Chain A
Amino acid sequence: DAGVIQSPRHEVTEMGQEVTLRCKPISGHNSLFWYRQTMMRGLELLIYFNNNVPIDDSGMPEDRFSAKMPNASFSTLKIQPSEPRDSAVYFCASSLQENSPLHFGNGTRLTVT
């Protein structure tokens, strides 16, 4: 079991640049979640997909954020343009079904200068 795979592990970019975070869920899992973790706000759910379809994106902070899941084995979270306040650790998680336990990746630490 390879677990949820996220890339890159670390990303440092300048304000205004586009950032793309990638996630490969566990094979066979039908639900995928994107979370953001900061010291100030803790763990926040940004968006989740079920069977590749976005179900709830109410946590996406602004139009600068977008997420896609073109197939069952890949998802991206894009920030364009990035801002310093977007600096955080972004986690992807997947679950077998909507009400199954979540399996988290190791996260992408994003720093926007």
Chain B
Amino acid sequence: GDSVTQMEGPVTLSEEAFLTINCTYTATGYPSLFWYVQYPGEGLQLLLKATKADDKGSNKGFEATYRKETTSFHLEKGSVQVSDSAVYFCALRNNNAGNMLTFGGGTRLMVKP
């Protein structure tokens, strides 16, 4: 079945550091890929998405590129802020598998001032 694998956290960075959170997936066909963010005490929010190979999703300074050749969708940000501290979830939706989202395990990011 479909699966999503994320790097384990927590990831601890200083403010203004460069962020990469790795995400790889296993799926048949051509899934859509997503990053969701969960701030403390809240539900998940869609951060960005990409629906086909080589698409780049971007939002709030975060970017991720859909790489079919490496089955990856790594999340990057050039300069993190304390307010970016949250848990980040990579997810895929496979149109061949009922349109349900498959989530990775989440990666906690802690940004220190």
Interchain CA distance A101-B45 in the complex, whole Å: 9
Measured between beta carbons, the chain B residues less than 8 angstroms from A102 are 36, 44, 46, 101
Are B103 and A105 in contact, with the CB atoms below 8 A?
A: no
Are A106 and B98 in contact, with the CB atoms below 8 A?
A: no
Nearest CB in chain B to that of A43: its residue: B103
Nearest CB in chain A to that of B32: its residue: A99
Are A45 and B100 in contact, with the CB atoms below 8 A?
A: yes
A-B contact count (CB 8 A): 42
Measured between beta carbons, the chain A residues less than 8 angstroms from B98 are 55-56
- Residues of chain B in range 77-113 having any CB-CB distance to chain A below 8 Å: 89, 93, 95, 98-101, 103-106
Known: A48-B100, A105-B43. A43 touches B93 (CB 8 A): no
A residues engaging B (CB < 8 A)? 4, 42-43, 45, 48, 55-56, 91, 93, 98-99, 101-107
Excluding A91-B43, A101-B46, A105-B43, 16 further A-B contacts by CB distance (< 8 Å) are A4-B43, A42-B104, A42-B105, A43-B44, A43-B89, A43-B103, A45-B100, A48-B100, A98-B99, A99-B93, A101-B49, A104-B42, A104-B44, A104-B45, A106-B41, A107-B43
B residues engaging A (CB < 8 A)? 32, 34, 36, 41-46, 49, 89, 93, 95, 98-101, 103-106
